């Protein structure tokens, strides 16, 4: 018995890293899990059924229920097949965890069109497409008179909500996912569905070259991706029914609620003269709270 007992969950990008930990913990807490992973390299190239199947084998060996899926979540038909896999295998879907992602970091002046398009597609469309089909599944059940307790849990990033040099493509996608989460939460509440996101920081093959790979000892243990899974597991459970439209910053052993854009210092009836207006804008900027650094704190 666990807090997700009897629930059916999909985790995308679940063959390795953070997604793998999500799948394993959800299964330990009683969920039947569709382990989705294309099995690609960090940059999105190639495919391999091995990672997804290995996680399934681990879950089954521990007495859980799981099935592998290797569809590309950024492909429209692939996303539909993914949702259908859960319904056809386990009879329904309760939880969708959108975790799949790739990296193609580059400074803006050097970034290619393909590097931009690939990252935006996998992260942003790869969140939208499965969510679209999951939302339709939840809506159909709701309209049929069923009491739905659905969950969509997305994956943003500190790079998206705070900003990180060299990741305009990745950060833009992750910022888009944060906005997507807030809006989808408003739209799907009527069907009994909550939508939340996490912005995780952990040591995985995607972050090993970003400085985290140098961590040692206790610092390295704090960055273990297993520490990200508990908040996702709780959000996936019936216990989180009152929480929606939130982005949670999960970095190492720290958990916080990320507070989004708010209207700051304001001018009522601003002057139409650009030069006069400019002086007022400078004063507004002085009054405004600084942007956060990559750790979520004010830059100074």
* Dihedral sign for Cα atoms in the order 25, 100, 98, 169: positive
Domain boundaries, the chain: 8-258, 264-300
pLDDT of residue 44: 61
The DSSP bridge partners found for residue 251 are 201, 254
Residues 6+ apart with CB under 8 A from 33: 8, 9, 10, 11, 14, 23, 26, 27, 59, 64, 65, 66, 67
Enzyme catalytic residues: 157, 170, 174
Q: pTM, whole model, 2 decimals?
A: 0.91
Give pLDDT, residue 224. Answer: 81
The pLDDT value given to residue 29:
98
In Å, what is the CA distance from 84 to each residue of 77, 87, 91?
Answer: 10, 5, 9
User: The tokens of 171 are what?
Assistant: 């950060």
Strands 150-155 and 193-201: parallel
Q: How much is the pLDDT for 42?
A: 67
Q: 8-258 in CATH: which number? A: 3.40.50.720
Render each residue's pLDDT in the chain as its tens digit; 300 residues.
Answer: 799 999 999 999 999 999 999 999 999 999 999 999 997 666 666 566 789 999 999 999 999 999 999 999 999 999 999 999 999 999 999 999 999 999 999 999 999 999 999 999 999 999 999 999 999 999 999 999 999 999 999 999 999 999 999 999 999 999 999 999 999 999 999 999 999 999 998 765 555 555 555 555 666 556 688 999 999 999 999 999 999 999 999 987 889 999 999 999 999 999 999 999 999 999 999 999 999 988 898 866
pLDDT of residue 225: 86
């Amino acid at each position: 018995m666990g807090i997700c007992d009897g629930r059916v969950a999909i985790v995308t990008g679940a063959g390795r890293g953070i997604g793998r930990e999500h799948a394993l913990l959800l299964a330990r807490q009683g969920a039947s899990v569709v382990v989705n992973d294309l099995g690609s390299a960090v940059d999105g190239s190639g495919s391999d059924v091995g990672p997804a199947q290995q996680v399934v084998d681990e879950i089954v060996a521990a007495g859980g229920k799981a099935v592998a899926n290797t569809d590309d979540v950024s492909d429209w038909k692939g996303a539909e097949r993914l949702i259908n896999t859960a319904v056809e295998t386990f009879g329904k879907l309760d939880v969708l965890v959108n975790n799949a992602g790739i990296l193609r970091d580059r400074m803006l002046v050097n970034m290619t069109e393909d590097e931009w398009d690939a990252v935006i597609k996998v992260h942003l469309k790869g969140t939208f497409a499965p969510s679209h089909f999951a939302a339709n599944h939840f809506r159909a059940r709701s309209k049929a008179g069923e009491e739905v307790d659905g969950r969509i849990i997305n994956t943003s990033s500190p790079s998206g909500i705070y900003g990180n040099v060299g990741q305009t493509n990745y950060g833009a996608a992750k910022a888009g996912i944060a906005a997507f989460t807030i809006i989808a939460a408003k739209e799907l509440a009527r069907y009994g569905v909550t939508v939340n996101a996490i912005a995780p920081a952990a040591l995985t093959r995607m972050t090993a070259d970003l400085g985290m790979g140098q961590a040692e000892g206790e610092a390295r243990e704090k960055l273990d991706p297993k520490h990200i899974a508990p908040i996702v597991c709780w959000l996936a459970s019936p216990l989180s029914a009152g929480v929606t439209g939130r982005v949670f910053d999960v970095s190492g052993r720290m958990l916080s609620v990320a507070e989004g854009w708010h209207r700051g210092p304001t001018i009522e009836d601003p002057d139409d003269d650009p030069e006069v207006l400019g002086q007022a804008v400078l004063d507004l900027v002085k009054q405004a709270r600084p942007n956060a650094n990559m750790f979520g704190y004010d830059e100074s």
